[in-house]
Amino acid sequence: MLPTREFDVIILGTGAAGMTAALHLAPKYRVALLSKGNMGEGSTRWAQGGIATVIDPEDTLEAHIEDTLIAGGGLCDRDTVNQVITESRTSIQWLIDQGVPFTPASQEDATGLAYHLTREGGHSHRRVLHADDATGMAIIDALTARVKEQSRIEVFEGHMAVDLITRHKLGLAEQACVGVYALDNSCGKVRAFSAPAVILATGGASKAYLYTSNPDGSSGDGIAMAWRAGCRVANLEFNQFHPTCLYHPQAKSFLISEALRGEGAQLLLPDGQPFMQRFDARRELAPRDIVARAIDHEMKRLGLDHVCLDISHKPAEFIRSHFPTIYKRCLELGIDITRKPLPVVPAAHYTCGGVVTDDKGETDIPGLYAIGECAFTGLHGANRMASNSLLECVVYGRLAAEDLLQKTLNSRLLPEPPPWDESQVTDSDEDVVISHNWDEIRRFMWDYVGIVRTNKRLERASHRIKLLQSEIHDYYSNYRISGDLLELRNLATVAELIIESARLRKESRGLHFTLDYPEPAAEARNTLLTPPRW
């Protein structure tokens, strides 16, 4: 057992949300910033499109709010939407102050704005700031540089959280989060981190699906740990499938930004025929759930492996200058997007539900916060609108930090966490069980809990996940833990929560579409799951 490390605040995750919170807390508190891989490897880095805010005088905050509410299918919390969008300008300016190089407007731009704005599905105006087509990378690089300058932020790379430490788990009457156990991958030992406040910024759970645009770490860790600790979760049935992931055997999870469609790219069948006009008057600019279902419908109807996305009718220099990352990667794979369409398929992309929080990011457990994709704030409703997610990360990273800055955090009053006990476990000689179960979960989630669902498919998924949970629990109880085992355990927990949430929703709304209930219910309600101990 490694010695316990004491801090004022522990943050799990080094994406936009986690690093934003850390930078705001650093002037006052000692912060531990844990990353289960290398710093900044999470989903933020791969966000291509941009971050939404209103800076065009012809646009309004009210229009951004209304667009978000419409995209959310009646399930957005209006107060949350108002808060996030009203706070957007302050948060964007903060990013600029940290050195994020948003793409400037061209000299030919007649708007007079300092930055170039693009438009994505669901938005009624151009309001998406971007750094070419690699906005997430630009944000991560800038914030990483600022974090490294802060002496009060200590970064622990290669540390994967195992479980939260709460007073309740320590046998104390009052409930509060007081730390976390984390596996140090460099030595295979578990260390306790102690702090009066813990922030989950662990991202989503799209790795529960076979095809995803997310990096390997998106295994729902924060959601699963919060559930085990006693937090409620909500709306996990709403998993957003990005309509356009590159379909190529050598391209793993390579996303084709929605900004291509914002700039006029068309979705085509392999014979060159457009099809979106048969599904929505907005065509390629319809919200993502509609576009993903349309593609899924055409692929199943015609037995296709993919459809095509074509922007080759635009000038070649326009394409190369606006989408340099996508252009370069496709060219490496033998696809010149200035000359021909590229093959695309839908892929699991964003978790719209998560751990229930208040308007500052605090969960049901005092001292435990959840921000970013792992949190349920009410912003996204039944369908996330493009480029609102990075905004949510930065806004709630700041709001959670400001809430903690108003409190007095005293680490000296914390109970000492007991040593991690691995006296009853042995090294596993059957790691194939982990990879097999991981693969099985992702396959049946894709087949049974994917873009289009039915009662029978969900029943099959529920049956399978219960059997797998038993196997995984037995494995976890008897063998020394590893990063792969921890991710499998978390993935299975979140998959079960997604399935249960989907079974409870007896309607089709937003990202949840079921053939058994193809119409929306008269009243829009959130799906709330409460842990057994409550």
* 228 in catalytic set: no
Give the domain-ending residue among 349, 373, 393.
349
Task: Tell me which residue range forms the domain holding 383.
Answer: 2-155+352-411
- Kindly name the residue from 191, 288, 453, 489 that is annotated as catalytic: 288
Q: When comparing pLDDT for 430 and 135, which is higher?
A: 135
Nearest-CA neighbor of 31 among 143, 181, 155, 142? 155
What's the whole-number mean pLDDT along residues 204-233? Answer: 94
**Same-domain pairing of 137 and 67:** yes
Burial class of residue 406 in the structure, from the number of CB atoms within 10 Å of its CB (0-12 exposed, 13-18 middle, 19+ buried): exposed
**Same-domain pairing of 29 and 105:** yes
**Same-domain pairing of 127 and 51:** yes
- pLDDT tens per residue, range 350-365: 999 999 999 999 999 9
What are the DSSP calls for 184-246, one per residue? ETTTTEEEEEE-SEEEE-----GGGSSSBSS-TT-S-HHHHHHHHHT--EE-TT-EEEEEEEE
- Whether 160 is covered by a domain: the verdict is no
**Same-domain pairing of 407 and 291:** no
The most distant pair of C-alpha atoms in the chain lies apart, rounded to whole Å, by 70
**Same-domain pairing of 302 and 407:** no
Q: How big is the CA angle at 19 (ends 13 and 25), to the nearest 5 degrees?
A: 115
- Whether 525 is covered by a domain: the verdict is no
The reply to whether the predicted model has a pTM over 0.85 is yes
- pLDDT tens per residue, range 450-509: 999 999 999 999 999 999 999 999 888 888 899 999 999 999 999 999 999 999 999 999
**Same-domain pairing of 291 and 369:** no
The pLDDT assigned to 238 comes to: 97
The pLDDT assigned to 534 comes to: 52
b/e sequence 199-231, b meaning 16+ C-beta within 10 Å: bbbbbbbbbbbbbbbbbebbbbbbbbbbbbbbb
**Same-domain pairing of 382 and 324:** no
Give the domain-ending residue among 298, 327, 349.
349
The pLDDT assigned to 477 comes to: 86
Give the domain-ending residue among 349, 365, 395.
349
- Whether 83 is covered by a domain: the verdict is yes
**Same-domain pairing of 272 and 322:** yes
- pLDDT tens per residue, range 136-188: 999 999 999 999 999 999 999 999 999 999 998 888 878 899 999 999 999 99
**Same-domain pairing of 345 and 396:** no
Number of domains composing the chain:
3
- CATH code, 504: 1.20.58.100
Nearest-CA neighbor of 151 among 10, 11, 17, 28? 28
- Whether 164 is covered by a domain: the verdict is no
